Amino acid sequence: MSSHQGIEGLPNSGGGKIIAVHLNYPSRAAQRGRTPEHPSYFLKPWSSVSGTGGTVERPAGAELLAFEGEIAIIIGTAARRIRVEDAWQHVSGVTAANDFGLYDLRSADKGSNLRSKGGDGYTPLGPSVIPAEQIDPAALRVRTWVNGVVVQDDTSDTLLFPFAQLIADLSQLATLEPGDVILTGTPAGSSVVVPGDVVEVEVDAPSAPGTPTSGRLVTTVVEGTEPFGGFGAKPAVDDHQRIEAWGDAAAAGLPAPAEPPTAASPAEPLDPAVAEQLASVSTATLSAKLRARGYTEVFVEGVHASRPGPRMVGVARTLRFVAYRPDLFAERGNGFNAQKRIFDTVESGEVIVIEARGERGTGTVGDVLALRAQQRGAAGVVTDGGIRDAEQVAAFDLPTFSQGPHPSVLGRRHVPWEIDVAITCGGATVLPGDVIVGDGDGVIAIPRALAAEVAAEAVVQEAEDAWIAEQVRGGAAVDGLFPLNAEWRARYESEQGR
């Protein structure tokens, strides 16, 4: 049903813009497992609008028709490039909305939501508009009932992006005109409805004088009888869409999906004395001491310091990227993903080591995350991929090693997958808790159990090397001196008082 009958106070009955926000309530963001940094939007056609008492069709052959009770903002005066503090002046009122969606057609939309949310009757509004001057925009309540049972109940003071921010943001690019409608997001509780279900949505202002209300927006779900033709995408669902539509796996009658890995318990901090020894010796010397023990693949190949000078010593925390795939990025790339988790949980004295498969064609860390690591006291960052915002990162007091700069973001080549697991970075296997040392020659990974003895031996070796260098500066030939033969060693040990 696409009749506008019963929507009192809606000024634009001839068609306008319906702009919907993807995620805006923390409760819904938590349900989705991602919290956006900025609002994002999609359009719904005016032909999808209906009023109270109407019906919404679940098409023949479809399974997952879901409701979303929302607060709808109605624009009263044109708004273009306005300030946040002036935004509410352009609102004539608010009303109840139900942003119905058919998850069976999400795969056909490629992000537009036109087919999944644009059907006739998929945007009920009303029945009455609450004048904007009667209410505090941060003191509204939205509730949804299915067959008389409350399933959604939330308030506008919890929004991630307040109404004024949405209006100002949208007005930066497009003129908001009188009668345009902004659907401001749905709280947790959205789920699937079936033919025969009755969905009601109400928006009110409990703290305002007289408790102004939109009244109940009532919609009945009916079964479609006309099958989809063979000239477009047909309904198709999988378990991922079932979980998204129902709200969680249990409601969809499915086993819970595997949780993404979380951070392991932090490794024991490195002994300060060992750390001091490691900071005083070169990766070249450490490499030689490890090679003598049969460890030949400990050097992280191909990485270089963002700026010369600082040395890096710390305990490894690991992050693994897998190669980009759209479905995997949709599942693991958004919200508080593995990449953000490790930069937000790294501790003082730890080095974030990133496996990027040697793919330098996109950034794997940028200025914001590097700054976060610095603020948490991280000892450094190592990636065998690229680095974004290279000049800014180089200016931080945080040693960073990479294959070089690249401006692109993760979604070009990588999916952040898991943290605190064994990885291979630049050809070197790195375990959480391994000791990472970096200098002008590059980066080396030392098995934790060997760190103390290798450090002690390296200190002894570099003292010997320094003595040899003094002899060369005094005119001695290197034959027999480097390495020390018996005669030179006896002289060295004599001078050292051994």
378 touches 350 (CB < 8 A): yes
CA distance 216 to 204: 10
Residue 388 annotated as lining a ligand binding site? yes
Per the document, the length of the chain is: 498
Sign of CA dihedral 445, 449, 453, 459: positive
Q: Which two tokens stand for residue 172?
A: 């930066």
- Ligand-binding annotation for 218, yes or no, is no
Contacts of 306 (CB under 8 A, 6+ apart): 387, 390, 393, 394, 399, 400, 401, 402
CB 235 within 8 A of CB 102: yes
Q: Is 421 annotated as a binding residue?
A: no
366 is annotated as contributing to ligand binding = yes
Inter-residue long-range contacts of 222-230, CB under 8 Å, 24+ positions, other chains counted: 222/55, 222/56, 222/57, 222/58, 222/195, 223/57, 223/58, 223/60, 223/195, 224/57, 224/58, 224/59, 224/60, 224/62, 225/60, 226/59, 226/60, 227/60, 227/61, 228/59, 228/60, 228/61
- Tell me how many degrees the CA angle 70-23-40 measures, rounded to the nearest 5: 110
Cα–Cα–Cα angle for 260, 265, 269, rounded to 5 degrees: 140
Give whole-number Cα distances, 322 to 33, 273, 277, in Å. Answer: 20, 37, 36
Residue 368 marked as a ligand binder: yes
The answer to the question of whether 181 is labelled as a binding residue is no
Which positions ≥6 away from 379 have C-beta within 8 Å?
312, 313, 314, 315, 348, 349, 350, 351, 399, 436
> Could you tell me which residues are annotated as the binding site?
366-369, 388-389
Annotated binding residues for Mg(2+), written as ranges, equal: 389
List the binding residues for substrate: 366-369, 388
